[in-house]
A = this chain, B = another copy of it.
Amino acid sequence: MKQARHCFISESGELLARWQEAFPKASSIRFDQGMPVQPAPTLLWVRLPQGRPVANVLADIRRIHGNLPCIILSDLPDDDQALASFSAAARGYCNTHAVPAFLRQVAEVVGQGGLWIGESLMSRLVDATSRIEAKEPIESSDSWAAALTPREQEVARAIAEGASNKEIARGMGITERTVKLHVGSVLEKLGVRDRLQVALIVSGHRQSQPA
B-binding residues in A (CB < 8 A): 18, 59, 62-63, 76-80, 83-84, 86-89, 94-95, 97-99, 102, 105, 108-110, 112-120, 122-126, 128-133, 135, 138, 150, 154, 157-164, 167, 170-174, 192, 194-197, 199-200, 203, 205-206, 209-211
Contacts and interface: CB of A to CB of B under 8 A. Distances in A.
A77 B132 contact: no
B133 A128 contact: yes
Contacts of A150: 76
Dominant secondary structure of chain A at its interface with chain B: helix
A133 B87 CA distance: 11
Contacts of A196: 159, 162, 195-196, 199
8 tightest Cβ-Cβ pairs between the two chains A and B: A109-B114, A98-B173, A114-B114, A128-B132, A120-B161, A128-B129, A99-B173, A203-B205
- Count of chain copies: 2
B206 A120 contact: no
A77 to B, nearest CB: 7
A194 to B, nearest CB: 8
Nearest to A188: B63
A107 to B, nearest CB: 9
Nearest to A132: B128
A65 to B, nearest CB: 11
Given A97-B173, A99-B174, 18 more contacts: A18-B173, A63-B211, A80-B135, A83-B133, A86-B122, A88-B209, A95-B172, A98-B172, A102-B170, A105-B112, A114-B115, A120-B163, A124-B133, A129-B129, A162-B194, A162-B197, A199-B199, A199-B200
